Amino acid sequence: MCDVTPRAEVALPADLSAARRARGFLREQLCRVHQEGALEQALLLLSELAVNAVRHGAPPVRAVVDCRVRVLHLSVSDGSRERPQHRRASLREESGRGVDLVDALSESWGVRLVPSGKSVWCEVAG
């Protein structure tokens, strides 16, 4: 399904412009097969992972896009080893729903501790 698209990685700024940069990177790297079926969902999820890394993690922040058979694997790493937390945001709060959003919209997701911090990943069906 996506045999010719190589894994791609980019450094993201450690500020809220990281979401915009991550979306642009994804659009540049994503193969046609995944663009047709999963682009909007993948853009939203990668944005959320990037914003969470900037707000709750630490530099350096990096995004990875890996087209695999039938799924698109997205991940964002940062320099903190602290895992994302589910929290109950009130209706009046403007933030606090990121982990729930990733959980609801992705096929699967998780956190992997790496020597430099952590990597939060999710998969989108292609």
- In the chain, the N- to C-terminal Cα span, in Å, equals 9
Examine the pLDDT at 33 and tell me if it is beyond 60: no
pTM summary value: 0.88
Examine the pLDDT at 1 and tell me if it is beyond 50: no
Give the per-residue pLDDT at 80. 97
Of 118 and 6, which is predicted with more confidence?
Answer: 118
What is the secondary structure of 60-101 as a DSSP string? -EEEEEEEETTEEEEEEEES--PPP------TT-SS--HHHH
Give the per-residue pLDDT at 13. 97
Give the per-residue pLDDT at 70. 79
Give the per-residue pLDDT at 125. 87
